[in-house]
Amino acid sequence: MLIYRYCESLMVFFIMKTQFYKSAFIPNSELCSNKSETLINANKLYLYIENNNWFINEMKKGCNMGGSDTKCHIKNLNVNDILQDFNTSYNDYIQNPAILCVPFSEFTNNLESIFITGGCYLEKTNRRICNISNKGFSC
């Protein structure tokens, strides 16, 4: 039952991330758009992470299950570093959205990656998690 709740949270995060991407970039380019909708979508992502302690704690629990070999690291960054970098990149992004949508989107991808990895450890699988409506995430 808890993994289902975790998957619901992961799907909400994924949908919010997708909405941000669709509004943040000029179609068929890597240039940032200036739509006010983009800032709203970025703020939704930030607040979702800021206010969803259960989701973050479950991800950390899953990552801890991986032990010292956990894949919940990106380069030399651990989970707390990645969360902090996401928050910092958000604060930088809202100061200059016309230029900083790419770094914010990269930190958002990093965050999604550790949420997926944490869920894989919780589910004790190395295949796929959260197969809801034929949409799942590969471990």
pLDDT of residue 121: 92
- Quick one: tokens of 133? 């409506």
Average pLDDT in the 99-127 region? 91
The dihedral sign for the CA sequence 69, 73, 77, 83: negative
Which residue matches tokens 């991330």?
17
Least confident of 9-18, 62-71, 112-121: 62-71
How many angstroms separate the Cα of 136 from the Cα of each of 55, 61, 73?
Answer: 17, 20, 21
Give yes or no for residue 132 having a pLDDT over 90.
no
pLDDT tens column, 112-123: 999 999 999 999
Give yes or no for residue 77 having a pLDDT over 90.
no
For 108, the enclosing helix (H) or strand (E) is helix 101-123
Average pLDDT in the 31-48 region? 90
> Does pTM surpass 0.85?
yes
Task: Read off the pLDDT band of 70 (50, 70, 90).
Answer: low
Determine what percent of the chain is predicted with pLDDT higher than 70: 95
